[in-house]
Structure 1
Amino acid sequence: MPAQTQPPVAGRWLWTCRAGFESHLFEELAWAGAAPRLLGDALVESERSPSPPPAFARAGYQVVASLPPGAPEVLAEAAARSIGVLPGAGPWVLQSFTPDSPRGNPLATTAEALEAAVKARLPSERLLEDGGRAKESGARLVALCVAPDGVTVVGSVFAREALSLAPGGRRRMRREVESPSRAAMKLEEALDGLAFEPGRGDVCVDLGAAPGGWTQRLVARGARVVAVDPAKLMPELASHGRVKHVQESAFAYAPEEPADWLFCDMAWRPLEVAQLLAKWGRRGWASHLVANIKLPMKDKNPVLVRVRHTLVEEGGWEGLTVRQLYHDRDEVTVTAHRLR
C-alpha cells in the first residue's frame, strides 16, 4: 500500500472496496489481466473493466480526470469543465463519495460541499435528481471522489453498467427495529440490486433461517416462506401463517415442490454451501437464487473461482453475480436464476 493516496490515470478505471480488501481486489484484477495498481485505502486502479466484474469491488468508474490540489472553488470549476465535455446528450446523476476508511470518512463534508458547488456550475436540465430512475433514463453516473492527501477524481459510468447506483457503492440499508440481526440488511441490499424481488404469494425457501432475519423480511414482502433450520425461529415467525418451519439440516432437506426463490445465509464452509446450491439448480428446485457465501481468512480468490464453477457448471445457474456488498464482511453475496 502506498504511503500516500495516489491519483489514478485518466482513461483507466477506479474501483472502491471495503478497507482491508484492497489486496483481494488487486489480485482479482491481476488475474483478469487488467493491470491493477494500489492507490490507497479502499481504492484500486485498473487498465480496464473486466468481465465478469470483480467481486470485491463496490463500485467502478472510468476516470475522467484527476484534479490537481487547489482551493474549493478552483476544484469545482475544474470538475465542472471535465464533466461538461463528456460525450452524449443523456442526463447526469452527480454523486460524491470518500474512500470508506478511517482517513477517508472525515472528508465526507468536503465531498458534499464539492458536489453542491459542481452542481451549481452545471446546466440544471442535464442533472437527474432521482437516481432511482438512472438506468431507465440512460443516465450517466458522474462521481466525485474526494480522497486523502489532496486527491480528487472525476469518474463516470453509465447507470445501466454500474455495479451500484449508490455513491462509491456504499448502499446503507436501514435496520428495522424488529430485525433480529445484521443479516436482514444484507438481504435488503442484495434485493435492492435486482430487477425484481419476491412478492405477494411467491414461495421462498430460506436455508439456515434461524433466528429469522431473512425470513422476516420476505414475509414483510408478502411471500410464503419455508424456513429450514434445526434451531428455533423468533416466536412471532414460528407462529406466522405464511411461515412453515422445517427443523432439519439444510443439507438433508428436499422441497415437496419447486420454489420461486431460494435464499441461503449459513455460517458454513463455502464450497459445501456452493455444492448445496448447485444441487438446487441442477434439480430445478428453485427459479431464483440469493445467497451469502462466507469466505476463508486466506485464499479468498481461489475459493471464489471454485464457487463460480460449482454454481454455473455443476448447478446450471445463469446470470450469476458475485459481489461483496456494503453490508458484507468476510463474505460475498451471489444472485442467479434458472429456468425450470
Structure 2
Amino acid sequence: MPPQSLTARVGRWVWTCRAGFEPHLYEELAWAGAQPRPLGEALVESEGQQGLAPAFARLGFQVLASTSEEALEPLATLVADVVAALRPGSPLVLQAFTPDTPRGNALAPQAEALREAVRARLPAGRLLEDSERAREAGAQIVCLCVAPGLTVVGAVLAREALSLAAGGRQRMRRAGESPSRAAMKLEEALHGLAFEPGRGDVCVDLGAAPGGWTQRLVARGARVIAVDPARLMPELASNARVRHVQESAFAFAPEEPVDWLFCDMAWRPLEVAQLLAKWGRRGWASHLVANIKLPMKDKNPILLRVRHTLTTDGGWKGLTVRQLYHDRDEVTVTAHRV
C-alpha cells in the first residue's frame, strides 16, 4: 500500500473494498486484465471493462476529477462544475463517503459538509433524494470519496452500480431479537435482489442453527425447512411455519423442489459449493442465496473454483459473488435456476 493516498486518474475506475482486502481486489482486477493500482487504504484503481464486477469490491465508479484540495469552498465549486456537466437533465443521486478505515471514517464530517456544499450549488430539480429509486429513474450516482489527503469525484449509472449505498456500505439495522450478525448478512443479501422470499414461499435453510436466517425468512411470511443437527431457538422450534430437520445438510434431500435455498454454514468452501451445485443440478430449488467462507490465503483461486462448480457443475444462472458490507472472511453468492 502507498504510504499516502495517490491521485486517481481521470477516466479510470476507483473501487472501494473492506480494509485489508486490497490485495485480493488487486489480484482479482489483475486477473481480469484491468491494470489495477492501489490508491490507498480500501481503494484500488483500474481500467474499466464492460460487466466488470469484482467480488471484493463494494462499489466502483469512473473518475471525473481527483484533487488534494482540502478547503471546502473551492473544493465544492470544483465538484459542482464537474457534476453540472453530467448528462444535462438526467437525475442525479449525490453521495459522499470515506474509505472504510479508522483514518477514513474520521473524515466523515468533512465528507458530509462537502456533500451539502455541492448540493447547494446544483439545481434542486436534478437531485434524487431516494437512492432506492435511482435505477428505475435512470439516474447517475455521483460519488464524492473523501480520503486522507485526497478527494475523488466520480459517477456510475445506477443500473450498473454494484451497490446503491454510499461507498457500497449497505448498513442493516440489527433487530433486537436477532440471534446473531448472520441476520444482517441475510438482510443485506436480500436487499440487493430484484425480489425476495415472501408469504407462501418454501425455503430450505442449510446449517440453520441457532436460527438467524430462518428467523428473518419467517418474518417475511415464508415457510422454512431448517436443516441442522443443533437446536434452534425455542421460539423458532415451536413456530408453525418452521420444520426443523435435525440432520446434516450434506445428507438432507427435500421431498419436493422448493422456492429458495439458503446456506450459511461454517464449512470448507469447495465442499459447500459442491453441495449447492447438487441442489442446482437436481433442480431442488429455484433461487439460491449462500454465504461461502474463505481461507486465509488463496481466496481468488478458491473463488474461481466455486464459480465453476456452481455454474458448470450445478447449472446455476445469473451468479453473483460479492463480499458485502456485513461479510468478513466470506462472500455472498446469489443465483437462480431459470
Please indicate the TM-score interval, normalised by the length of the shorter structure: over 0.9
Q: Give the aligned partner of residue 184 of structure 2.
A: 185
Which TM-score applies when normalising by structure 1?
0.98
- 1:252-285 Cα shifts (integer Å, max 9, x gaps): 0000010100000000000000000000000000
Identity over aligned residues, as a percent?
76
Aligned counterpart, 2:229: 230
Contact kept in structure 2, 1:29 and 1:50, CA below 8 Å:
no
Aligned to 2:160: 161
1:24 match:
24
Residue 271 (structure 2) aligns with:
272
User: Paired residue for 2:146?
Assistant: 146
Residue in structure 1 matched with residue 127 of structure 2 by the alignment: 127
Shift of 1:52: 4.5
Cα 1:273–1:50 change in 2 (3 A) is farther
Shift of 1:48: 1.2
Q: What is the deviation of 1:89?
A: 2.8
The alignment covers a number of residue pairs equal to 338
Supply the distance in 2 between the matched residues of 1:278 and 1:153 (Cα, whole angstroms). Answer: 41
Is contact 1:15-1:59 (8 Å) kept?
yes
User: Take 1:203 and 1:174, find their aligned partners in 2: how far apart are those partners?
Assistant: 25
Equivalent AA in structure 2 for residue 53 of structure 1: A
Which of 261-270 and 86-95 deviates more? 86-95
What is the one-letter code of the residue matched to 1:83?
V
What CA distance in whole angstroms lies between the structure 2 residues aligned with 1:7 and 1:82?
17
Separation in structure 2 between the aligned mates of residue 49 and residue 6 of structure 1, nearest angstrom: 22
Q: Secondary structure at the match of 2:107?
A: helix
**Which residue does 2:170 correspond to in 1?**
171
Q: How far apart, in 1, do the equivalents of 2:121 and 2:282 lie?
A: 57
TM-score normalised to the size of structure 2? 0.99
RMSD: 0.8
> Which is worse superposed, 124-133 or 321-330?
124-133
The residue aligned with 1:296 is 295
SS in 2 for 1:103: helix
Quote the Cα distance in structure 1 between the aligned partners of 2:270 and 2:111.
Answer: 41
8 Å Cα contact 1:225-1:243 kept in structure 2: yes
Distance in structure 2 (CA, Å) of the matches to 1:224 and 1:71? 55
Structure 2: gaps (5+ residues): none
Aligned to 1:103: 103
Partner of 2:217: 218
SS of 1:257's equivalent in the other structure is coil
Q: Quote the Cα distance in structure 2 between the aligned partners of 1:233 and 1:50.
A: 44
Q: Which residue of 2 aligns with 1:72?
A: 72
Q: In 2, Cα distance between the equivalents of 1:230 and 1:22?
A: 37
Take 2:38 and 2:191, find their aligned partners in 1: how far apart are those partners?
Answer: 29
1:245 is paired with a residue of what secondary structure? strand
Alignment of 1:231-250 (within 5 A): 231-250=230-249
Shift of 1:70: 3.9
| C-alpha distance in structure 1 between counterparts of 2:256 and 2:296, whole Å | 37
Question: Aligned equivalents of 2:325 and 2:280: distance in 1?
Answer: 27
Q: Distance in 2 between matches of 1:290 and 1:191?
A: 8
Q: State whether residues 29 and 46 of structure 1, in contact with CA within 8 Å, keep that contact through their aligned partners in structure 2.
A: yes
Asked if 2 retains the 8 angstrom alpha-carbon contact of 1:265 and 1:292, the reply is yes
Structural mapping, 1:198-213, within 5 Å: 198-213=197-212
Runs of 5+ unmatched residues, structure 1: none
- SS of residue paired to 1:120: helix
Instruction: Encode CA deviations 1:82-131: one digit per residue, 9 max, x unaligned.
Output: 11111353100000000000110000000000000000000111000111
The one-letter code of the counterpart of 2:43 is: L
Residue equivalent to 1:326: 325
Structure 1 partner of 2:41: 41
Q: Deviations over 1:281-325 (max 9, x none)?
A: 000000000000000000000000000000000000000000000
Deviations 1:233-261 (A, max 9, x none): 00000000000000000000000010100
Q: Which runs of 4+ in 1 moved over 6 A?
A: none
Aligned residue identity for 2:15: W
Match of 1:59 in 2: 59
* Aligned residue type for 2:106: P
- Letter in structure 2 aligned against 1:42: A
Give secondary structure in 2 for the equivalent of 1:329.
coil
Question: Amino acid of the residue matched to residue 39 of structure 1?
Answer: L
